[in-house]
Every structure is written in C-alpha cells, then in structure tokens.
Chain A
Amino acid sequence: MEPFVRVASVAAPLPIDNVDTDVIIPAEFGVTMERGGLGPHAFNGLRRFPDGSERPDFVLNREPWRHAKILVAGANFGCGSSREHAPWALRDFGFRAIVAPSFADIFYGNCFRNGILPVRLPAAVVTDLMEQAGQGANAVFTIDLESQALVAPDGTRHDFAVDPWRRRCLLEGLDEIGATLAGAAAIERFEAGYARRRPWAARAG
C-alpha cells in the first residue's frame, strides 16, 4: 500500500455537503476490472458537459487547482455507495488528502487503504480553510500525518485526530492483509472456540 507521511500543496475548495460516491465517480465508469485509470472521470458530472468537454467554472478545471493534491470538502463527504472506485479515482486524479467536517464511514476507511489521508476538522475551521484555499497558487497547505497537524496558508496550525492503527498503516504503507495473516494463530484459536460455541454458524454456508 502507498504510504502517506506529508503533503504540501494548494487545496481545491469544493463547498458542497453530502458529495456522494456516485458524484465522485459515476457508476458507469466503475465498470472496470482495474483499480487505475479513473482520475479522468473523477467528478465527471461536475467537471464535464455531457459532450465530455470541461466546464470551465469547475474548480478542478482551473489553475492552480487542477494540480491540487488536497481537497477541502463539505460535510458527509463520500456518502452512499461503498465503491472503492471513489478513492481510486481521487488518488488517480492526484489527491493525497481530503479535509472535511465529516466523512461517510465506508469511504473514510477506503481512503486509508489507498494512500489518501482523510482529515476531520470542525466545520468552522473547514469554512475558514475553504476561503484560504480559494486564494490560489500562493495558498499552500501542509498536512503532516506524523505530527497529526495541518498548517494553513495563514500559518495557523490545526491538530487532527486519527485512529492509531490506520495512522500506522498509512505511515508505513503496511500490507494490512499480510499483517493479519502474520497473526493467523489468533484466528485459528478463535475458530476452534467458535466451532464449539456456534457449530451451526461454522457449518452452514
């Protein structure tokens, strides 16, 4: 898995609440056997006219934000479908971090497994960051996972919380499955007890 330690970048402001994963990557582009190649279709409905040409007023079609590695978004970002195509598309576009007042649960977990750090900050802070992000090329944000801090362009530091396991996976680029399999003895012990306790559960299926 791709590690994340620190990113410094302009940030694209997307001041919309409840941006769902169908908006992040419409399902029609999710018909694919690959993880890669979805960046051009990220936010397709917001980013492009029906004929495929770019909507010039959309933030990701404008300089400097078409190269942003950070997205500042509204509340409940990533709600709806569990499709991991959403973080795949965001990562392929170039995003490494998303800042929002809140995230949908499934999307939040999916980000960590794809080298994207979701950062939760209070709504009032995000509103302020949104304004700073809109200032353009000189408004550089720094997000550091090691110290769990975001430094805004105006120099203000905002500490954020991250679950310790997820932080470690992301910092080290850990293979989560490999780590679980390394502790397979615990799974075997559980299964032995479970088979005695709930034989019907272990047998059916």
Chain B
Amino acid sequence: MATTLFSKVWDDHVVEERPDGSVLLYIDRHLVHDATSPQAFSALRAEGRRARHPAASLAVADHLVPTDGRAAAPRLAVQIAALEANAREFGIPVLPLGSPTQGIVHVVGPEQGFVLPGLTVVCGDSHTSTHGAFGALAFGIGTSEVEHVIATQTLVQTRPREMRITIAGRPGPGVAAKDVALAVIASIGAAGGAGHAIEYAGPTVAAMAMEERMTLCNMTIEAGARTGMIAPDATTLDWLEGRPMAPSGADWQAATGHWRTLASDPGARFDREVAVDVSGLEPQVTWGINPAQTVAVTGRVPDPEAIADAGLRQAARRALAYMDLAPGTAMTAIRPSRVFIGSCTNARLSDLRAAAAVARGRRVADGVIAQVVPGSGLVRRAAEAEGLDRIFIEAGFQWHEPGCSMCVAINGDRVPAGERCASTSNRNFEGRQGPGARTHLVSPAMAAAAAIAGRFVDVREMI
C-alpha cells in the first residue's frame, strides 16, 4: 500500500496500539532547555524516577541566557544553573553555557547531528517542528510530557490527520524561505494545520537548502500543526554527513539506506492536499498579531471592514488597535525603532550572510537599535571567520552571544512598550517581545534593510 513519509516514521515507532485508539509512541531524541524543564525534573525526583535512556536526551540552556556579555540576573542564573545540575543528576549530556556548542536547541540539535531522518524528536518547545526539515517526526510537548519522555522514552499519542502542502514556483532574489513560510501560513490560516501532521513537498521545497527547510518547518506551528516534515534527500544527507553525533561508517550506510525509503510513495493518500504557488511572491511583512496577518512589503495595511469573514475581520480590528496601524498605510511607511536578527527561525549562518549582504558598507539609521544574535556558538564562530561580525559592527549593528534573546524576551533582551520591531523571529503575538511591544515578522535580509532605511523597504531594491 502506498504510504506517506509521516506514516512510515510513525509506524516505525509504535510500541503499542491500544483498544481506546491511543498509541504508545517510542521517542528517539529529546532536547531539553532551561525554560520548560525544571518542573519535570522536580516531579521525577519527587516520584523517585530515573531517566530510562539518559543519552537519548541532550540539554542546552537557551531561553534565559544573556546574549550581551553581561551576567544573567539572579533569578535567571538560578534556573540556568538548575538545567545543568538536573541534567548531570539524571545523567543527561549537556552542551554547557560558555562552550562553542551552546546555542538555541533547534539550531544545535541538527548542528550536532543529534537529530536524524526517520527519528522521533521531541522538546518542550513548540518550534521543535524545525527538525521535520530532516524527515524526522518532530513535535513540541508540554512539561508533563518532558517528564514522561525522560522516565519512559515514550509518549501516549493519538494519530493526527495528514496534510500535504505542495509548493511550486521559484521565488526571485531577495525572497527568502521566511517569506515562503509566511505565504504558506497566510494561505491555510493560523489554525489551518490544527490536528494535522504536515508534509512539505514540491519543486520549491526540493530546491531549498537545508537551512531554508528548517526555517519553513520551524514556522509550521504558526499554522497550528505540531509537526511539518520534508522527505530526506541528497541535500539532507550532504548536510548531515560527518556531524559529531551522526552515524558513521557502516552505521551511516545502514542509516542512509533506510532514509532513502522515507519519501511518500506515489499515490499515498493525505486527508488534505494544499497547493501553494510562490512564483512572483514578494518579501513579506506582518502587520498583525498572528503570523497569518502578513502582506507584501509593496502592499498596504488592510482595511478590516473590507474583510468578508467575520472572525478574520474581528481579529484584524484587534490587531490594528494593538499595532497602532491605520488601514491603508503603506508597509514602507512603517518605521521600526528596533531590529532583531536571530531566533530558531532565522539565526543560522545563511541567515546571517543574507542580512550581512544588505548591511555591508551601509549604516543603521539614526534612532534604530539593531541586534544580531547568532543561533549557536558555532554559527557565531563561522560568521566571524567570514568577517560577518565586522560587517555588522561597522554598520552599527550589535553583535551578540547566542540564545533565544528577543524572540521570547525573557533573558533581559526585550522591545520597550509601544516600540516597533522588525524581527526575524516566528511570533508577532501581543506582548511576545515585551509588554506592549509591536512585532513585524520579516526575513533576515528584510530586517537588515529596515535597520538601514529606518522603515520597511523592499530589499530587492538594495541587492
């Protein structure tokens, strides 16, 4: 029978199907970070439970870590220290703070080869969908499930429905994977993927580099789906080969033999099929408070009263009030005072290169504070080896240490109330980058362009 990529990975991990319809699913890899794990470790300790397979987890602090070289505030420092102490107590490997391997979980997991095709990967973070880029079944979980995985190496799940999003068309220069992701979310809506596992397919996806695929899969949760997968191919294997924790030798041969079987078979059935054409897609800027509220940079803030759907109309009214935007305003007339280039969505080397290409030889506009926060210590080093740090610093950008930083805004980096931020992160929710902060999601190149111009501009005019 023709089978989907999702089904192949799911079926390979079913420990037990129960009469009530639930499935005990085996979990291969578990990423652990500082923000959502302390309560799981406390509960394990209270119940006298141990880690079933400590080496199947990997711990790294990212959410709370300072990125400006200063010491963490005491309440953050305590929780960062707790992660490393908890991991040691339960025998879980740690990428320690201050080591070059530290960084955002969703950057370092792939970087280390910890995440592989065909595996089940979980983390107490919704952007775990990122790892679907490798053909892993990867999804975010709550803290109680973090506890369940450490103790049992399994999770109780119900099988989701399946959706395939086939993307066609080659976007032009200056149009990034981030723009494709926003276009996909806009096409199915902020809850369009709820209850589904998504597979991204089609020529546009096949042509994407690994880091672009990670950006696309990362944003899957913003369309409501927990997991978004891409079948592994030569691009995937080239990227993974030689990574520190990836299989080698005979293991590599056996693994790649399996990975080549993972694509959805011709004729495999999906509960829903969606086609998105991105030829002619323009750089996107979000105008609202969910990532589906996006428009081309050449466009204007929509008029809520012109939106036919009552729910979307109401949401748009609410968004414009929070964002302090008037209907009909040209996106290029909107002036951010902050620029954030970073996050698990867009803080990999190719993202920093795209931003640096725009920043090179230019200056950040007066009144704009722009910061670049690499996704990991290794990304930071690689960028410095290419001189990207010099380009950013000479252009007036701040060059930070790795971490989640201003995406989740709990490490001390935040956007002041009422200010507007051009951000390469994944969420423009109310208060996400700080109470009263107004976030516009863009690609790294678009963020750099906004920093230089002091307003949103079509980056295609600058490259």
Contact A187 B191 (CB under 8 A): no
Interface residues of B in 130-156 (CB under 8 A from A): 139-145, 147-148, 151-154, 156
Asked if A177 lies at the interface with its beta carbon under 8 angstroms from chain B, I say: yes
Q: Which residues of B contact A194 (CB under 8 A)?
A: 26
Known: A33-B38, A82-B36. A177 touches B147 (CB 8 A): yes
> Are B15 and A190 in contact (CB-based, < 8 A)?
yes
Are the CB atoms of B410 and A31 closer together than 8 Å? Answer: yes
Determine if A5 is an interface residue (Cβ-Cβ < 8 Å).
Answer: no
Q: Are B79 and A31 in contact (CB under 8 A)?
A: yes
B309 to chain A, nearest CB (A): 11
> When the two chains form the complex, which single residue of A23, A104, A183, A184 contacts B429, counting CB atoms closer than 8 Å?
A23
Q: Mark A170-205, 1 if CB is under 8 A from B, else 0.
A: 000000110011011011001100100111110111
Given the known inter-chain contacts A82-B140, A84-B36, A163-B158, please indicate yes or no for A26 contacting B251, CB distance below 8 A.
Answer: no
CB-contact partner of B142 in A31, A110, A190, A200, under 8 A: A110
Asked if B29 is an interface residue, CB under 8 A from chain A, the answer is yes
Q: Which residues of A contact B36 (CB under 8 A)?
A: 82-84
Question: A50 to B79, Cβ gap below 8 A?
Answer: no
Task: Identify which of A45, A81, A168, A205 contacts B126 (C-beta below 8 A).
Answer: A81
Q: Of B164-172, B354-362, B368-376, B430-438, which stretch is located at the interface?
A: B430-438
B417 proximal to A (CB < 8 A): yes
**Bound-complex Cα distance A102 to B191 (A):** 9
Q: Are B254 and A165 in contact (CB under 8 A)?
A: no
Cβ of A154 < 8 Å from any Cβ of B? Answer: no
Chain B residue with the shortest CB-CB distance to A197: B12
Contacting residue for A22 out of B124, B221, B432, CB 8 A: B432
Least Cβ–Cβ distance between A127 and chain B, in angstroms: 10
Question: Would A105 and B35 count as touching, CB distance under 8 A?
Answer: no
Which one of A54-62, A72-80, A90-98, A137-145 is at the interface? Answer: A72-80
Considering only CB atoms and an 8 Å cut-off, how many residues of chain B contact the other chain?
Answer: 85
CA distance A203 to B141 in the complex (A): 24
Interface assignment of A28: CB less than 8 Å from any CB of chain B:
yes
CB distance from B290 to the nearest CB of A (A): 5
Contacts of A104 in B (CB 8 A): 191, 194, 224
B15 touches A187 (CB 8 A): yes
Asked if B24 CB lies within 8 Å of chain A CBs, one says yes
When the two chains form the complex, which single residue of A16, A82, A114, A181 contacts B151, counting CB atoms closer than 8 Å?
Answer: A181
Minimal beta-carbon separation of A192 from chain B (angstroms): 12
At the interface, yes or no: A27 with Cβ under 8 Å from chain B? yes
- Contact check, B113 vs A106: say whether CB atoms are below 8 A apart: no
Measured in the bound complex, the distance between the Cα atoms of B255 and A200 in whole Å is: 6
> Cα distance A200–B28 when bound, in Å?
11
CA–CA, A201 and B52, complex, Å: 16
- Determine if B140 and A106 form an interchain contact, defined as CB atoms under 8 angstroms apart: yes
Q: Are B430 and A180 in contact (CB under 8 A)?
A: no
Bound complex: CA of A45 vs CA of B289, how far in Å?
14
> 10 A-B contacts, Cβ less than 8 Å apart?
A22-B429, A35-B39, A76-B224, A82-B125, A163-B158, A165-B20, A186-B16, A203-B251, A204-B247, A204-B251
5 other A-B residue contacts (CB within 8 Å) besides A33-B39, A203-B251: A45-B431, A81-B125, A105-B194, A165-B21, A181-B49
Residues of chain B having any CB pair with chain A under 8 Å: 12, 15-16, 18, 20-22, 24, 26, 28-29, 35-36, 38-39, 42, 47, 49, 52, 55-56, 58, 64, 75-76, 78-79, 82, 113-114, 116, 118-119, 124-126, 128, 139-145, 147-148, 151-154, 156, 158, 160, 190-191, 194-195, 221, 224-226, 245-247, 251-252, 254-255, 258, 290, 311, 314-315, 318, 408-410, 417, 427, 429-432, 435-436
Instruction: Show the binding face of A for B, using Cβ within 8 Å.
Output: 16-18, 20, 22-23, 26-28, 30-35, 44-45, 50, 74-76, 79-84, 87, 102, 104-106, 109-110, 113-114, 163-165, 168, 176-177, 180-181, 183-184, 186-187, 190-191, 194, 197-201, 203-205
